[in-house]
Amino acid sequence: MSAAGATRSCPALCIAAPASGQGKTTVTAGLARAARRRGQRVAVFKTGPDYLDPAILAAAAGAPVEPLDLWMAEPDYCAQRLYEAAGEADLILVEGAMGLYDGTPSSADFAAAFGLPVALVLDCKGMAQTAGALVAGLQQARADLAFAGLVANSVGSTRHAALVAEALPAATALLARLPRDTAMALPHRHLGLVSPAEQGETIDTALEAVADHIDGSDLLAAAQPVAFEARPAAVPGPWLADKTIGIARDAAFSFAYASNERLLTAMGARLTYFSPLTDRALPAVDALWLPGGYPELHAAELAANTAMHAALRAFHARGKPMLAECGGMLYVQESLTELDGRRHRMVGLIAGAGRMRNKGGCQGMQTAPLPEGGIRAHAHHRSITEGGAQPLAHGRRQRHPAPGEAIVRDRRLTATYLHLFFGSNPAAIARLFGAEPDATTSAS
């Protein structure tokens, strides 16, 4: 392990925008693909909690992509991951979340904390010179950010690009321009982008098209060397050395941070995977993790696999540890109703009827105050649970006094809409999966 305070330098760039929907993921993915074409090793991160954008970015970078957040993961964790990446990569890319200054902490806070130059992405459809005013305002809002320039997205013509470039503040470069081209579009659905696994060859075609435009631009050269400092954390104990944890993974359940799985492995756990969609029995495991995903897109298939329902009910009856997050929680409740009103019977381990909604839902950062210890988490869903079981506790919101998401405990099953970030309290996670750590920690 590197000593605290050691530094490594690597060219880096933060891709940000004035709002969501401007094309940040498209540009970041295209930039990663263009760098790989040149033989560069690329490390990509996403600010804020996210499962879908990192999947797109991983397809472009050819390597796993991890979300980093100054609150959920904390600054030292983020710093150490960037330091480790700087030792392996030729280029580090960080995609921002929402608008540059949205949220607390924001993408701007992240860029400032680690000295990352910022490339702004702006959808210029329907504007020309106004783009310059927007860029100027974003640049003037904070003095502690270094701006590399603008990526003009959805540009209609060479003349359109020239008008945008002429209106930019002095010394602000037009780094790249992307035309309006449906071949470069990344499809969306509720909660975000469609995963690469569902897009097939379409995603690769889109990434190559974006990379074609970026490869001949000045965007790659905008990444400047940044010194990243080592801040190694305490190594968790081998608290799960005698445990095998089964993780649901298929088209219905895929929202699991790679960092969460790495931590379980670091604590000694053996990980194995199963599919609630197609498997008729559980693997031989000591604990189960049912992460989030899109069970509502596969509700009929999940309902039809009654053999898996029986296996999960038997596992639960034996008092084995189980964690069900968001989509996993919907699955272990009594039923799930689609937007068109079709109702499907689910596993029925706890009371509650899940129902999908066209809008509404919840998103945001919360701490899960579990008996095992506080664990930082986030919520992001478009469903509601009706007639749910009496909660063990509610999430504590990051910046609001109202109760957060309900947390239900039945025997050793913990079910909640919250997606837990395991690294915020490894000892609590070990307890949740059935271990008894010899030390206690808690998240605030």
Catalytic residues: 326
Rg of the chain (C-alpha set): 22
Lookup: tokens for 177: 């321009």
Per-residue 3-state assignment (H helix, E strand, C coil) for the chain = CCCCCCEEEEEEEEEECCCCCCCHHHHHHHHHHHHHHCCCCEEEEEECCCCHHHHHHHHHHCCCCEEECCCCCCHHHHHHHHHHHHCCCCEEEEECCCCCCCCCCCHHHHHHHHCCCEEEEEECCCCCCHHHHHHHHHHHCCCCCCEEEEEEEEECCHHHHHHHHHHCCCCCCEEEEEECCHHHCCCEECCEECCHHHHCHHHHHHHHHHHHHHHCCCCHHHCEEEEEECCCCCCCCCCCCCCEEEEECCCCEEECCHHHHHHHHHCCCEEEEECCCCCCCCCCCCEEEECEECHHHHHHHHHHCHHHHHHHHHHHHCCCCEEEECHHHHHHCCEEECCCCCEEECCCCCCCEEEECCCCCEEEEEEEEECCEEEEEEEEECEEEECCCCCCEEEEECCCCCEEEEEEEECCEEEECCEECHHHCHHHHHHHCCCCCCCCCCCC
The four Cα atoms 180, 182, 187, 189 give a dihedral, to 10 degrees, of 70
